[in-house]
Structure 1
């Protein structure tokens, strides 16, 4: 899931099922979209880990199968002010990740009381994030969890809403984002994250982030912050861990 915030004005997301306009929009998984903003609007985007407690909470509480949910009323005041202030922070500022956490706490404070992510799902998610393998190996992951392969495949999808393979794609995309933030080139990123080619990398980025790799790799236009915490193979910390934040410095270049 993705939360997109227009710090100073409304943003417009165009999906296959229609267009949505607001100051704060929640985008469901696997929703292809394009983003439209005016030249003066700073864009703040928080990418949520599908295996996190918050994602489980949202899957349970977001009504219906809506591709986009307007959270603008909940975002008035603190959320908009916090995201707007974060847009002005320099790259690498530790307050960027903290600002994202404050935004999530303000929007979804009840999620902290939601049950922790199932421990075997945490184990698989932690393993994939630690190793970032070329491809998934459900049989080995099932042995690690002490259950059958078919049971693990079903359990992971039912808890996270994505398959193990789709989750690995998300992990690779998140690693690519971190590499872009450190100044790596598109070619270096595609090779290091085991995407078959730059076209595959581009398709994945459009799917998960609604933005192209070439756009995200430009530090003049985008500032990136990754939360180092996440849903690893350890008890869920109870906060909304595992997110990446994109701050679009020049939204005019989106189109």
Structure 2
């Protein structure tokens, strides 16, 4: 008989620049993603393998781009995903350690937390990405909206944000697809609307970013939209 791996259960709180899963942790394979991740145990400690090294504590902060896997499946916890372009890491850590596993308290504290200040042209490009819908959004269009050449835009993103334009657009498309899937759309419909080639492309992207199977996990999550 095949062993069934535990899936994530709980509520996904979705905001423009962060999302929060509150519930029971599921199995994840090793993965890395653009947002910072903060794991907050409801009791005891949470354990994760980060860059091949086991780390544990009541609050674990995993910086953007670091390879990791959660080791304490089926544990009750909060998992926060916060965009590096919006949040300063020291402030984010301080808030999470201060509030702990109080979901409503953390949602309120994050809404009050000051965001990073971006130079105006970069802020305009980022805002355009946040407004993504079903339309294609090539990097050249972003550059034009920010009154920059494409090479200038790429240098600004990599220099100030430490992320490529393509990676940020992909994250926003993934966020849109998750919102649609959790709102009742099929993976096929969510994938097409968010600009993925097909549901298989979306599923691969979910696995690469979160280490989970989207078709198995999303059915166990409820959606709460913030803002």
* TM-score calculated relative to the size of structure 1: 0.63
Let me know the Cα RMSD of the aligned residues. Answer: 3.0
**How far apart are 1:16 and its partner, in Å?**
4.2
Gap change, CA 1:185 and 1:10, over 3 Å in 2: farther
CA distance in 1, matches of 2:151, 2:67: 29
CA distance in 2, matches of 1:37, 1:174: 25
Unaligned runs of 5+ in 1: 63-70, 87-95, 229-255
**How far apart are 1:127 and its partner, in Å?**
1.0
Q: In 1, are the aligned partners of 2:177 and 2:194 still within 8 Å (CA)?
A: yes
CA-to-partner distance for each residue in 1:33-92, whole Å, 9 max, x for gaps? 3222254x312122212431x1xx22xx59xxxxxxxx6x9755x52241xxx3xxxxxx
**How far apart are 1:183 and its partner, in Å?**
2.0
Q: In 1, are the aligned partners of 2:51 and 2:68 still within 8 Å (CA)?
A: yes
> Does residue 30 of structure 1 match 2:31?
no
> Does residue 48 of structure 1 match 2:47?
no
**How far apart are 1:134 and its partner, in Å?**
6.2
Q: Name the structure 1 match of 2:221.
A: 222
Gap change, CA 1:50 and 1:74, over 3 Å in 2: closer
SS at match of 2:100: helix
Greater share of helix residues, 1 or 2? 1
CA distance in 1, matches of 2:96, 2:132: 36
Gap change, CA 1:21 and 1:160, over 3 Å in 2: same
SS at match of 1:131: coil
Unaligned runs of 5+ in 2: 1-35
Q: In 2, are the aligned partners of 1:3 and 1:26 still within 8 Å (CA)?
A: yes
Greater share of strand residues, 1 or 2? 2
**Would you say how many aligned residue pairs link Structure 1 and Structure 2?**
192
